[in-house]
Structure 1
């Protein structure tokens, strides 16, 4: 099973998202990616956030741990805090799938971008139950 880390950066009622092709119908997603061999979880997330968004971050609390069994992936998401960088300062080819946009999106617009109401509610409520194993990704609305 592969390990994937993603970061949730929420500032002023907005969440940082990427617009790029995904394995599903939704094109907007949380920034993050695969943990490379020999890399720590926080090291991988700091690297992925910088590569995909242009933002430098500190890794905070564990929000959730989920299985994505169809893709054979362990999905781990952390809260992050911006420490520097410039949103959208992304080099072409930084990801295997081209990144069309990097934007802060109001939390009340998440469902219009294809996120479930459940995920939008978790974001708005500050991820109650954070730090827990949640089972399948669908348990958190992804």
Structure 2
């Protein structure tokens, strides 16, 4: 599960080893036993970015069949915290950096033009199943 926080045409990303050719990624992670999706996203965002959020809406659900994962992404709004105040040891892969990046810079960080356009357009088909992650350009 991941969260997307966009402010002033900038998106909150973190830099860490992802197992793909892209090191910048959306913050998020796994749901712990007993957690709701909302609780898990709030915890993961705080641990990985230092940002306290409220969940706004479901953006999309995608398949990541190779990893046997259902990928759920929510729009979130920052309500507190400090960008970059990462909880040490909370993630198995060290986080090198957390920052708001201009949406126009996403392709230079390994994101597709399609994903950039979805972010810029406010995810016009939000709340639905989108098929494989490739359908949204990830």
TM range (shorter): over 0.9
Per-residue deviation, residues 19-66 of structure 1 (Å, max 9, x unmatched) = 000021000000000011211000000000000000000001100000
Distance (whole Å) between structure 1 residues aligned to residue 86 and residue 131 of structure 2? 33
Unaligned runs of 5+ in 2: none
TM, length-normalised to structure 2:
0.98
Q: Which residue of 1 aligns with 2:36?
A: 40
Q: How far off is 1:92 after superposition?
A: 2.3
Q: Which residue of 1 aligns with 2:98?
A: 102
Q: Which residue of 2 aligns with 1:87?
A: 83
Unaligned runs of 5+ in 1: none
TM, length-normalised to structure 1:
0.96
For residue 100 of structure 2, give the secondary structure of its aligned residue in structure 1: strand
Question: 4+ residue stretches of structure 1 with deviation over 4 A?
Answer: none
